[in-house]
């Protein structure tokens, strides 16, 4: 049997490893082109925030029947334990909820190679079931989690922690650059920071909760007026989220302000001609303003334009969360500093 590899049950030598990121057509775009987006959004609107509560919701992982022979009809690259002489099995099972799906499987150990890094004795999840069609249309083969160990499924040691503990990277941090080109130029740098990817200086923001990469946001404004988060709010900086998401009420107001309306496919569409006249939306974080221009928050594809904002209620002890996904990160080179529990941000070059 072959398995879909899930690495994210999510350094002292002079080693920095730069790994190219290949940006493919998004899951959202794939679903839209197959006429499945509206049904998908409606189905998962029951609990879109479950990704952020893995322990609370673990008993309710499966909500529909898995597809028979699902992996046999997929063109994903698969992992076969029988082909590896260094693989070690365990009797432990794993189950994970993502924002849009879930999986169940088993845990095993093997050498995981990330770019030029050989991470030995790494525990990871081998997926047996993924209910629904989410992963079938996903452009990736697996998921590498890079958040804090406190939210690691089954208490497994995450890949980056294992890499650091083995002294395979120079610094206890990693950084991400997402290019404007959907297909090339994006990189993740393990153990270092490359200043050629940004302009000016990095501004550092303390991590407010060591789970996901959570930070405090001062306000969100447009045309000098607060449109959300007027008294401060919490946000997660998350490469695993494509859009900019926030509580449904303020997001609905933003959609109205930028002239977005829902089409028959469940997408929030905007007139492409409006992009030149729309204002920046400014996220003020730790006293620094981070403008997101309309060319970033309006997504253009095949002659159509959709809003890069999405409503999603994620309520935690620290309040409702915003998620600064790829729409934001594409504008700002981002450093995830585990050594100092902080996030660094600077405009991309």
Within this chain, domains 4-12+24-175 and 198-347 share the same CATH topology: yes
Domain segments of the chain: what residues?
4-12+24-175, 198-347
Sheet holding 261-262, edge to edge: 261-262, 268-269, 304-307, 298-301
For the purposes of burial, counting CB atoms within 10 Å of the CB of 177, is it exposed (0-12), middle (13-18) or buried (19 or more)?
buried
Lowest mean pLDDT among 1-5, 82-86, 163-167: 1-5
Q: Is 60 exceeded by the pLDDT of residue 64?
A: no
pLDDT computed for residue 26 by the predictor: 59
Q: Computed over its alpha carbons, how large is the radius of gyration of the chain?
A: 20
pLDDT computed for residue 141 by the predictor: 78
pLDDT computed for residue 120 by the predictor: 95
In contact, 148 and 336? CB cutoff 8 Å: no
Give this prediction's pTM: 0.82
Outline where DSSP puts E strands in 63-114: 88-97, 102-114
For 293-340, what is each residue's pLDDT tens digit?
999 999 998 889 999 999 999 888 888 899 999 999 999 999 999 999
pLDDT computed for residue 11 by the predictor: 30
- Give the bridge partners for 337, in sequence order: 173, 342
pLDDT band at 95 (very low <50, low <70, confident <90, very high): confident
Lowest mean pLDDT among 111-125, 152-166, 181-195: 181-195
Tokens read off for 72: 């046999």
| 214/237 Cα distance (integer angstroms) | 6
Q: DSSP 3-state assignment of 138?
A: coil
Question: Could you tell me how far CA 18 lies from the centroid of its own chain?
Answer: 19
Write the class of the CATH domain 198-347: mainly beta
Looking at domain 4-12+24-175, which CATH architecture does it have?
A: Beta Barrel (2.40)
For the purposes of burial, counting CB atoms within 10 Å of the CB of 223, is it exposed (0-12), middle (13-18) or buried (19 or more)?
exposed
39-72 as b/e: b if 16+ CB within 10 A: ebbeebeeebbbbbebeeeeeebeeeeebeebbe
């Amino acid at each position: 049997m072959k398995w879909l590899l899930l690495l994210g049950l999510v350094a002292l030598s002079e080693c920095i490893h730069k790994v190219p990121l290949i940006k493919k057509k998004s899951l959202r775009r794939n679903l839209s082109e197959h006429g499945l987006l509206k049904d998908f959004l409606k189905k998962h609107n029951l609990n879109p925030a479950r990704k952020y509560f893995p322990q609370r919701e673990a008993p309710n992982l499966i909500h529909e029947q898995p597809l028979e022979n699902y992996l046999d009809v997929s063109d994903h690259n698969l992992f076969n334990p029988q082909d590896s002489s260094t693989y070690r099995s365990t009797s432990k099972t794993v189950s994970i909820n993502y924002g849009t799906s879930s999986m169940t499987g088993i845990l095993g150990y093997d050498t995981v190679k990330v770019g030029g890094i050989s991470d030995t004795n790494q525990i990871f999840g081998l997926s047996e079931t993924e209910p629904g069609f989410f992963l079938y249309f996903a452009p990736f083969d697996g998921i590498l989690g890079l958040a804090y160990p406190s939210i690691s499924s089954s208490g497994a040691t995450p890949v980056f922690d294992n890499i650091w503990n083995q002294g395979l990277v120079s610094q206890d941090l990693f950084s991400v650059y997402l290019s404007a080109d959907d297909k090339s130029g994006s990189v993740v740098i393990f153990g270092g920071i490359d200043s050629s990817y940004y302009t000016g200086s990095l501004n550092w923001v303390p991590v407010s909760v060591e789970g996901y990469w959570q930070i405090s946001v001062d306000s969100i404004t447009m045309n000098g007026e607060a449109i959300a988060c007027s008294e401060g709010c919490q946000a997660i900086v998350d490469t695993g989220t494509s859009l900019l998401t926030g509580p449904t009420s303020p997001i609905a107001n933003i959609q109205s302000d930028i002239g977005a309306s829902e089409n028959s496919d469940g997408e929030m569409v905007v007139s492409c001609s409006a992009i030149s006249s729309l204002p920046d939306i400014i996220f003020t974080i730790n006293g620094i303003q981070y403008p997101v221009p309309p060319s970033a928050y309006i997504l253009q594809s095949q002659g159509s334009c959709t809003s890069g904002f999405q409503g999603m209620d994620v309520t935690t002890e620290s309040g409702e969360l915003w998620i600064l996904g790829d729409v934001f990160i594409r504008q700002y080179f981002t450093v995830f500093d585990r050594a100092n529990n902080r996030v660094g941000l600077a405009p991309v070059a």
